[in-house]
């Protein structure tokens, strides 16, 4: 039976750090579902549809990666999609506390879904979507932090006054 993993997140926007985790996960599992969270508690820069489209473009050359979106509990969506592994990226020790709480809670709800933590490559360990949005807002070159399609989308948001 193929192993299906899910990598959930906001991806607002997707960064090279996210892509590092996606590419490495794709080598570990038969299928990786990158699940874009619809989070009603946050006001994202990009719509869910825009984030899904950016991820699809960014991951088009990784054949075993599927991009989808969901609303609700991550473990519920993972179970619906047949995932047995939840992939979580860690940039630094500060990420661990929140991520381990999520992993324990998810396990309490659905013990058949294991969580795997992947440390982001050192060269991306400082990078977050928040930092990228802030740099783009002030007109900084973000080309080394995000894929080209995401860079274009950030520039368009800035020029439209939405960033």
Catalytic residue status for 42: yes
* Helix, coil or strand: residue 7: strand
- CB distance 24 to 59 below 8 Å: no
Topology given in CATH for the domain delimited by 4-127: Rossmann fold (3.40.50)
Tell me which of 31, 51, 91, 157 is the catalytic residue: 91
Tell me which of 25, 26, 129, 157 is the catalytic residue: 129
Catalytic residue status for 91: yes
Tell me which of 42, 60, 104, 152 is the catalytic residue: 42
Beta-bridge partner residues of 5: 32, 85
> In the structure encoding, which two tokens stand for residue 54, read together?
């950016």
Neighbours of 105 (CB within 10 A): 13
pLDDT in tens, 35-59: 999 977 778 999 999 999 999 999 9
18 is in an annotated binding site: yes
d(Cα 75, Cα 79) in Å, to the nearest integer? 6
Catalytic residue status for 137: no
Q: How high is the mean pLDDT of the chain? A: 95
7 is in an annotated binding site: no
Looking at residue 161, its pLDDT comes to 93
pLDDT in tens, 67-115: 999 999 999 999 999 999 999 999 887 788 888 998 999 999 999 999 9
Domain ranges of the chain: 4-127
What's the per-residue H, E or C state across 65-115? EEEEEECCCHHHHHHHCCCCEEEEEECCHHHHHHHHHHHHHHHHHCCCCEE
Give the DSSP letter string of 48-60: HHHHHHHHHHHTT
143 is in an annotated binding site: no
127 is in an annotated binding site: yes
């Amino acid at each position: 039976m193929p192993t299906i993993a899910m990598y959930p997140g906001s991806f607002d926007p997707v960064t090279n750090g996210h892509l590092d985790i996606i590419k490495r996960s794709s080598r570990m599992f038969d299928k990786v579902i990158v699940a874009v969270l619809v989070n009603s508690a946050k006001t994202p820069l990009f719509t869910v549809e825009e984030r899904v489209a950016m991820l699809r473009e960014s991951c088009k050359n990784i054949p075993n990666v599927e991009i989808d979106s969901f609303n609700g509990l991550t473990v519920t969506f993972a179970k619906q999609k047949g995932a047995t592994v939840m992939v979580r990226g860690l940039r630094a020790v500060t990420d661990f506390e929140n991520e381990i709480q999520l992993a324990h809670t998810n396990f309490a709800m659905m013990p058949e879904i294991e969580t795997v933590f992947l440390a982001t490559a050192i060269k991306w360990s400082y990078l977050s979507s928040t930092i990228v949005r802030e740099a783009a807002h002030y007109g900084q070159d973000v080309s080394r932090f995000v894929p080209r399609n995401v860079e274009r989308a950030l520039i368009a948001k800035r020029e439209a006054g939405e960033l």
